[in-house]
Amino acid sequence: MKILLAVDGSKYSLDAVDCLIEHADWYREKPTVELLTVHLPVPKLPRMHLVVGKNQIERYYREEGEAMLAAAKKKLDAAGIRYNATILVGRSPRPSWRTRRRRAAT
């Protein structure tokens, strides 16, 4: 079984990791965890490429993502739970005002 677990290094995301570890014995076999973190993109500024290269930005995302994943990885390793860690760059989708209004009406 695969479980998607989004983490950002916060206390709350680490609490979710702890909860997963505590309940791992509920499954016949230990689940494989898809560990995911998402980093907001660096703002695009005019002529930024003259100062900061693409490789530097990619390294920044990788280092920041690894820092966000580090504590969760350590806990899962200690519990013997397999995981695949992924770092994505992007924005979280925001529902439009109309969508929020429809949800509130139901």
- Token readout for 63 is 């280092």
Under the banding of pLDDT at 50, 70 and 90, the label for residue 95 is low
Whether 99 shows a pLDDT value over 80: the answer reads no
- Residues whose CB is less than 8 angstroms from the CB of residue 82 and which lie 6 or more positions away in sequence, other chains included: 30, 32, 33, 76
Which domains occur in the chain, in start order?
Answer: 2-105 (3.40.50.620)
Q: What is the mean pLDDT of the chain?
A: 86
Q: Among 42-51, 63-72, 90-99, which is the least confidently predicted range?
A: 90-99
The pTM for the full model equals 0.77
Whether 102 shows a pLDDT value over 90: the answer reads no
Q: Among 11-20, 34-43, 56-65, 92-101, which is the least confidently predicted range?
A: 92-101
On whether the CB atoms of residues 76 and 18 are closer than 8 A, the answer is no
On whether the CB atoms of residues 87 and 49 are closer than 8 A, the answer is no
State the pLDDT at residue 65.
Answer: 94
